[in-house]
Amino acid sequence: MPTVEEEYDEFSNGFWKNIPLYNASGGSDDRLYRDLRGATAQPTDHLQRVPYLDEIINAVYNGERLQMARTRNLKNAIVIPHRDFVELDRELDQYFRTHLMLEDSPLSFHSDDDTVIHMRAGEIWFLDAAAVHSAVNFTEFSRQSLCVDLAFDGAFDEKEAFADATFYTPNLSPDIRRRKPFTKQAEAGILALSGVIGRENFRDILFLLSKVHYTYDVHPSETYEWLMAVSKQAGDDEMVEKAEQIRDFAIGARELGERFSLTTW
């Protein structure tokens, strides 16, 4: 697979590859998620090369509600805290995103609001992508998942997401990551970054701060509060403005297809 610019590539660093198997257009390079109303998700050319994954999608999930399916790999990389579906038209609780972990990496994690979880191979997890969430893999070993998005027209029972209700097992015990208490000393260490932050490493500092909540018991949205505070202490009003803008873009509101640059000043 060639390396191409991902949709919302600004959200990640390291190796983050999304390969669409079903999407709105059937285009192999179409990685943009959008609502399908009165239409069905179309297979891409990639699907022909992974018949087993196609079998899983059709055997496990409610095809009438399928919006998009893609493989997602993350290696030695982080996806910054953000919210999805904010640029779409449905009520946020009508979207249903799952991750089926195909290949596990022991130091790969997802955060979802106040929880950090390690998804084990073979498990299917609902991820509330409308809430502030993130993903990280601290190793070079692939963390390969099958991400399947469904959407409903109104209230629904979660069992309706599946072709067979036996796949729905809400009592599965999660592998929750234990995190350290967030202390004043940890906060002081973060704020000390004001002595090194600059426009040339602003992006790097953002990705560094995005990893903090995987170690400390703190909400992922604090990433942007720290970035603004560090930029303010550094005395650079343009960096403060950039920090506010990426916060609003990532966890606030944005238009469909809107992009953001962390390196253009």
pLDDT digits (tens, 9 = 90+) for 175-215: 999 999 999 999 999 999 999 999 999 999 999 999 999 99
Q: Map residue 6 onto helix, strand or coil.
A: coil
Q: What is the pLDDT of residue 247?
A: 97
In what order do the strands lie in the sheet containing 108-112? 77-82, 133-137, 108-112, 115-118, 175-176
Amino acid, res. 242: K
Q: What is the pLDDT of residue 87?
A: 87
Q: Is the CB of residue 110 less than 8 Å from the CB of residue 135? A: yes
Please give the Cα distance from 2 to 147 (Å, whole number): 20
Q: What is the pLDDT of residue 6?
A: 56
Query: E-strand spans in the chain?
Result: 15-23, 42-43, 66-75, 77-82, 95-103, 108-112, 115-118, 124-127, 133-137, 143-151, 175-176
In what order do the strands lie in the sheet containing 124-127? 42-43, 15-23, 66-75, 143-151, 95-103, 124-127
pLDDT digits (tens, 9 = 90+) for 61-90: 999 999 999 999 999 999 999 999 988 889
Percent helix / strand / coil, the chain, rounded to 5: 30, 25, 40
pTM of the entire predicted model: 0.90
Q: What is residue 154's DSSP assignment?
A: S
Please give the Cα distance from 199 to 260 (Å, whole number): 15
Q: What is the pLDDT of residue 2?
A: 53
Q: What is the pLDDT of residue 8?
A: 55
| Residue bearing the bigger pLDDT, 11 or 67 | 67
**pLDDT band for position 4 (cuts 50, 70, 90):** low
Tell me yes or no: is domain 9-176 CATH 2.60.120.330. yes
pLDDT digits (tens, 9 = 90+) for 231-243: 999 999 999 999 9
Domains in the chain: boundaries: 9-176, 184-251
**Which residues, in sequence order, are CB contacts of 223 under 8 Å at separation 6+?**
80, 81, 206, 209, 210, 212, 213
Intra-chain end-to-end CA distance of the chain, in Å: 32
Q: What is the pLDDT of residue 206?
A: 97
- Mean of all residue pLDDT scores within the chain: 93
Kindly report the CATH number that applies to the domain delimited by 184-251: 1.10.1720.10
**Which residues, in sequence order, are CB contacts of 185 under 8 Å at separation 6+?**
none
Closest CA to 46 of 20, 66, 23: 20
**pLDDT band for position 10 (cuts 50, 70, 90):** low
User: What percentage of residues in the chain have a pLDDT greater than 70?
Assistant: 95
From residue 116, how far is each of 127, 135, 171, 178 by CA, in Å?
Answer: 11, 9, 17, 8
